[in-house]
Amino acid sequence: MNFFGHDYLSGFRRIDLIGNRYHHPQHRHLNQNQHQYQYHWREQEPQFYLKETFLWKQRKGSRVSTINDWLQIQIGGTEDVKKKKPNNQNRIKSTKYTLLTFLPQNLLEQFRRIANFYFLVMTIISLLIDSPVSPMTSLLPLVFVIAVTAAKQGYEDILRYRTDNVVNRSPVTVIKNGVEAIIQSQNVAPGDLIVVERDCDVPCDLVILRSTDPHGKCFITTANLDGESNLKTLTVPRDLPTVPIEEMHKLGMIECETPGTDLYSFNGKIELAGGEGRVLPLSSENVLLRGSRVKNTECVIGCAIYTGMTTKLQLNSRLTRNKTASSETYVNRFLIFILIALIAIVTLLYFLKRYNELFVIPKLTYLGPAADGYSVKQFLQDYLSFLILFNYLIPISLYVTIELQRVIGGFFMEWDNELYEKETDQQCIVNTSNLNEELGQINILFSDKTGTLTKNEMNFQQCSIAGHKYNYKKTRLEEAETKVLSDINKFSMDQKVFFQALAICHTVQVATSMTEVAPVENAANKQETIKSGPPEMYSISDITEESHNSSQHSELNVSNTIETSLSVHPNGVNATVTSSSDVNPLLFSDDSYKVERRKRPQVVKRSPNFARSNKVHIASPGETPDSGTSANGHSSVGLHSPPIMRPISLQFQRSTSERDLPQFGEAHNGAALGHRRAHSYGAPNAYLTSPVGNQTPPVGGLFRAGSTVSRESYAAPTFTRQPTMLIRAESQRRKQEIQQTLCLLDYQASSPDEKALVEACANLGLVYTGDDDEVLRVRIVPPHLDYKRPINSGKPKEDAFHRLHVLEFTSDRKRMSVIVRDEGGKKWIYTKGAESYVFPLCANSSADMVVKTDSHISDFARLGLRTLAIARREISDAEYQEFVSSLAQANSSLENRKQLSEECYSKIESDLDLLGATAVEDALQDDVADTLVSLQAAGIKIWVLTGDKVETALNIALSCGHIPPDAKKYIILECKSRDDLLVHLNVLEREIVFGIGQECALLIDGKSLGVALAEAPKEFRDVAVKCTAVLCCRLSPLQKSEVVALIKSSNENYNTASIGDGANDVSMIQEAHVGIGIMGREGRQAARCADFAFAKFCMLKRLLLVHGHYHSVRLSFLVLYFFYKNILFMGIMFLFQFHTLFSSSSVYDSLFLTLYNVIYTSLPILFISLTEKPYTEEKLMQNPKLYKKNTDNKQLHWPYFLMWTLFAVYHSVIIFYFAYCIFSFNNVILNGGQTAAFSCFGTLLIWAVVIIVNLKLWLESMYLSFWYIATLVLSILAFMVTTVIYNVINLDYDTDIYWAYNNLLASLPVWLYVLLTVIACLLPDFTLRMLKRGLNIKTFSIFPGKQRKLEMRRKFESTYL
C-alpha cells in the first residue's frame, strides 16, 4: 500500500491531504484515558525511566546517542539539515576485498602458501647471486600463478558484491517530514520512518508506529529468522497517540538497548514529545526485525532503530571467512616433506662439492685452483646455487592448475542438468569453487528442517470421527474398512459436526488477493470479456450445452452489485467503477446480503487512519466523462484520474516487482500508467531475471457471466435427456470453482496445520469465507450433486457463528479453543489440540470414544502424520457469564496473571464431548527420504538443527527417515544445570555402549543445548557424535553455528556441511566447512551466503555422491601426479651432479625449465582432472557406500604419496642411466658419424621425461576419451615443435643447443633409446595395475599407515569387549 501517489514513468508526484482523517472522536476519547494507565505503569517500574548521565556518541546519519549502553533515536531522523547525512548505514557486506585492499590482502593470502612464498624467495635469490639458471625460470611461473589466482578470487568477490547490491540498492519507501520518498535500502538510517507493504521484506529493524489493521496489529512470517513460516502477530505500542503522517517525525524519541543477538527480547521506550512527556514501554511485540515478511497487513510504518550490520539478523550471522579445503592440509604436508628433502639434497651436494674441492680438484691440475670454500660469500654462492637448481622440486604450477580445475569443475556442476529445476528455471550455483573436492569428504551434515527437509505445506490425509477411521479423498471421505465414499450430501450428523468444528475452531484469517472485475451490462460484451481470458478456464463449461451462458444462481457466483476496487484487467479489459468491501467479496448470492454489503464500501479491515477520501474511475473508450454508472444501475460518484494516477487496487494486489503489475505491460498505451510498487528487497520473485506470470487465477475464471435465461428453464430439457452428463459437468464446475475460490481467498494461519484443515473443509463443501466483526461465516457448497435432487433446489445455505472468545494455543497448554454463539443463540466451546492434553478434558461419557480414537491416533503417528484431537460441548449462559467475569478479574490482576488466566481456561475446557481426531501430513521435499537414507549409507551422520517445536520436529524426523524407525530415541528436555545434563549424557552413553549394533537417536531442545554449549561442550560432543542421528529443536541461529563450531573442534577432524534455505541458517552455513543453500520461497540470503546452492534438497544426493566423489578423486590424482613429475624431473638433475663434480650445473636448458610445467605436462593432467570417472554416475547414485572410499582424503595419505614417489625415483634412474650408458660406451649416435655434444644429452633426457610422464598419466587414467588422448599427443608434439624452433635459432643465452635436437630426430639409435626407456619405465606400472585389477590387491595394504592401525585397534577392542 502506498499513501502517496508517485509515478516513475512520468516523474509526477501527488500528495493526498489525509492528515485530518487521523483525528477521530473515538481516538480523542482514548487519548484522554491514556494518562491513568501511563502513570500507573510508571509507578510500577520507576527505575526504568531514571535519567542518567549522557555519554554522547555521534553515529552516521540521524542523531544516535548512547546513555550507558542505551541508544537514543529521534523518530523521523535529525532535523539538522546543515549536516550532510552519510550514506550506506544500512548496507550489508559479504565481500572480502575493496579496491584498495584487494592487491595487498590477496597477495598476503597467496604468499601464505608454501610454494608461492618459496618461489618468491628463490626469485629474489636468483637475482642477487650468480644463478646457474636464468632468474626468469622462477619469476615467470610465479607471476603467472599469482595473476591467475588473483583474477579468479577477484571475480568471485565481484559476484558477491553484485548480489549484495541486489539487496542494498532495492527501493524502500520512507517518509521524510511528512513527504514520501523512495530511497535505496543501503541509505536507510536510524530514525527514518519506513513504509513496509504487504508481502515485502523488512529492510532493517523497526519499531512499529502505525498499521492498516484497525486493531493496530501487524502479521508477519519469520521463516528467514527462525525457520517458522506460520503467521505471527506484532502490535503498535499501546496508547501511542494518533497523529497525521506529516507530523509523525515530531512524535518523540526512542530509547532502546544496544543491539544484541537474541531475536526474542527487546527493551526500550518512547518518550513522547510535548509538555506532558509521557513514556510508553516497548517490547519485542512492537519490533519488526529485518528478515521478517509482512503478511495479511496492507501496510505498516515503523521507525528504524538497528540498521545494516547491527540488525539482529546480521548479528546472528558470522562474518565471511576464508574457507580452505582439507586437501590443502595434505598438500602442505607433502610440500613440507619435499622442502625438507630439498634442503637435505642441497646440503648433501654442498658437502660433496666441498669434499671434491679439497681432495679431488687439486689433483686435476687442468681445472685450475679450487675456490676458497671458507669464505661466507663462496658458501652462499654454492649453497644457494644448489637451492635454485633444485627449486623445481616444489611444483609452482600445482596451485594454478588446482585453481583452474576448481573453477572449470564448478562450471560443470552449474551445467549439470540433474541439478537444474525446470519449474523455477534455477541451476546449481557455485559461489566458492575452492571447496569442490570437499563435497566428497563430508562426515557430518547439519540440516535445517523447515523449507529444507519439508515444504512446510500441510496436507489433510485421514481422520477419526465417532470411532470410525476415514481417508480424505479431496471432495469425499472414504471409510477405511468398507471403502465406501461419501460426500457432504450423505454425511452423518457426527461427520457434519466434526467438520463444522474444524471450519470454525481456528484463528485463520482471509486475505483476498483477487482482482474483481464487474460484469459489463450487455451480453455480447460479457462473452467477449470472458473469452479473452485463458482458454483452460472454460474447458468444463464447454462440454455442456450451457457453455456460453452460466447461471446467475451459481453458489459461487459473485454478484454484479458487489462493489470492488478499481482494477486493470491483465488482458486489457477495461475496468469499471466500483468500491470495495470490508470482507471478502466471495460466495454471496443472497439479495438481502448484497444490500447490506453495499452500505459498507471498504476493501479490508482498515484503520480509519488509512481511509481514502476519493475513488478513481478510468473511463472506457466509449464512455463519456459523465457516464459513471455502475453495473447495477446505481450511480457511482468518482474522480476522473489522469493517466499518472496510481490505481488504488494495486495496494491489494500481491505483486512484488514492476514486472508482476498488470499495468506494466500496458504502460505504453498511455491508458493505465501506474505506480511501481516501492518494495523492500527479498520479495517473492524479486531476484528472477525473467518476467513472472500472474500467480493468481485469471479474472473471469471464477465469475461466470450472467444469463438472461434462468438456469431452471434453460437446463430442464437437458436434465431430462442426459441427467448424468449434466450433473457431472455441474459437479466438475463446482469443484473447479471451489479450487479457484481457495486460491483467491488466500487463507493466512498462525499454523500450517490450521490452514490445511480449513482448506480440507472447503474442498468437502464447508467453505470458510472469513469473519465480519467476529462473525464467522461458513458457506455450504456441495461439490457433488445428487440424482435425486434438482441442480438448484434453492438458495445456498450459510451458517454464521459469533466468535466470543479465543483461548490461544501455548506451548504449555498444547491446545486452543474458541467460544462461539450459533444462530440459535446456543453457546459452544470447541477445543483442538494434542490428544494427550485434550483426552483428559473429555467427559466420562466419551470414554469408549477416547479408546477408539487413541488407537486410530497411534496408527496415524506410525505413518508419520501430525495428529490433533477435536472436542466440544455446549455452555450455559450462567457458566459463560461466570467465565467472562473470572477472566476479566484475572486480566486485571498485576500478579500471576498468566496462571489465573489458564485456570479460567481449564475450568471451562472440561467435560468435553470428543468428536474425533485429524491426521495431517507435512509435505516433505521431493525424494527427501531416499536422499537421507542414501547419505546415511554413505557414512554421513545427519544432524537436524531447527527452530521448530519438539513434537513437530520429531514427527518430521521419523517420517523423512532421518531417525531410523527401529532406533532407540533418547530425549533431553528442560535441563537447567550441568549436573542434570551429565546425568542424561551418562545414561545415553551406557545405552550406546551396551546396545552394540543398536542405532541410537538423540533429541535435545534449545534450553538444554544452551547448557551443554556453555557448561559441558566436550562431554556433549563426545556422546552426541556416537549417535546415528541427532535432532536439536528450538535453536536460535547463533546456537546453530555454535553446534557446528563445537563439532569442528573435535580431535577427530570431522568435515562438516550445513544446508538451509533461510536467513536463520546463514550463520550455520558460514560456520561449516561446506555451506549449502537452497533457493527457498522465503528469500535467498542462504543461497547467496552459501558455497553451493540449488533448488531442491534431493539434489544434495547427486552433489555429494557424484560430484563430491569425482572432485575428490580428481584432485588427489592431480596432486600426486604433480609431485611425481617434478620429482622425476629433478631426480635426473640430482643424478647428473654426481658426474660433474657437483658443479651445480644444469643438465637442462633454461627453456625446458620454464616450459616443463607450463606447456609440456600441464594440459593432459588438467583435462583428466576435469573428466576422470572411476565409476559411472549411475553406479555412484545406486551404491552410496562407494562414497566412503574417498572420505578423509584417503587417496592423499602417505602410502599413496610414497608409491608415486618410488615410481618417480625409479623412472628417473632408468631414464638417466640408459642415456648415460649410451653416451659412455659409444657416443657416436648421430647419422653423420660424429659424436654427440653435451646439449644433445640434456635434450635427449628432457625428451624422454616428457614422453614418460605423459604416458604414465595415460596409464593411470580410468576414463579415456579421444579428446584426452589428443591432449597427450599434443603435449608431446608441443615439446618437439618448440624445441625444433628453439634449436634452429642460434642463441647463446643459456646453453648452446643449436641444431642439437634436429640431429637427435635424425638418429635411429635415439629412437630406439626412447622406445626401450618407455618400456622399461612403464612395464612395472602396467604389471602392478593388472595385478591390482586381477587379484584385487590394494595399494593401500602395501604401506600400513595410521588408518590401518586404527582399524586393527578397533577390531581388537571389539573382540576384547
Nearest CA among 1125, 1080, 1349 for reference residue 291:
1080
Q: For residue 835, which of 870, 874, 872 has the smallest C-alpha distance?
A: 870
448 in active site: yes
Tell which residue, 266, 271, 269, 314, has the closest CA to residue 291: 314
Q: Beta-carbon neighbour count of residue 232 at 10 Å? A: 17
Contact 345, 390 (CB under 8 A): yes
Residue by residue, DSSP assigns 323-378 as: ---THHHHHHHHHHHHHHHHHHHHHHHHHHHHHHHHHTGGG-GGG-SPP-TTSHHH
In angstroms, rounded to a whole number, what is the distance separating the alpha carbons of residues 637 and 644? 20
Q: Are 248 and 209 in contact (CB under 8 A)?
A: yes
CA distance 714 to 638: 38
Q: Rounded to whole angstroms, how far apart are CA atoms 1190 and 939?
A: 11
Can you tell me whether residue 124 is helix, strand or coil? helix
C-beta atoms surrounding 1319 within 10 Å: 11
Distance CA(933)–CA(930), nearest Å, equals 5
In degrees rounded to 5, what are phi and psi of residue 301?
A: -120, 130
Element (H, E) at 1102: helix 1099-1102
Distance CA 1361, CA 1352 (A): 14
CB atoms within 10 A of CB 578: 25
79: cell is: 532535523
Amino acid type, 1016: A
598 closest CA partner among 638, 636, 552, 557:
636
The residues that bridge with 943 in the sheet, in sequence order, are 446, 1030
Classify 727 as helix, strand or coil: helix
Looking up cell 466470543, which residue turns up? 804
**C-alpha distances in angstroms, 1297 versus 135, 220, 450, 961, 1152?**
19, 79, 70, 70, 11
List the grid coordinates of 725. Answer: 452428463
Residue 329, classed as helix, strand or coil, is: helix
Identify the bridge partners of residue 471 per DSSP, sorted by sequence position.
462, 478
Would you give the DSSP letter of residue 1103?
I
Strand-pair category, 941-945 with 279-282: unpaired
Dist CA 879 CA 819 (whole Å):
12
CB 733 within 8 A of CB 540: yes
CA separation for the pair 985, 1170 (Å, rounded)? 46
Provide the b/e sequence for 942-968 (b: ≥16 CB within 10 Å).
Answer: bbbbbbbebebbbbbbbbbbbbbeebb
Q: Is the dihedral of CA 1146, 1151, 1157, 1160 positive or negative?
A: negative
SS3 track for 1306-1333 = CCHHHHHHHHHHHHHHHHHHHHHHHHHH
**Rounded-to-integer distance, Cα 193 and Cα 905, Å:** 40
- The catalytically annotated residue of 157, 192, 201, 448 is 448
Nearest CA-CA partner of 854 in 901, 794, 785, 916? 916
Three-state DSSP at 302 gives strand
Distance CA 81, CA 84 (A): 7
Q: Are 1081 and 1063 in contact (CB under 8 A)?
A: no
Residues forming the active site: 448
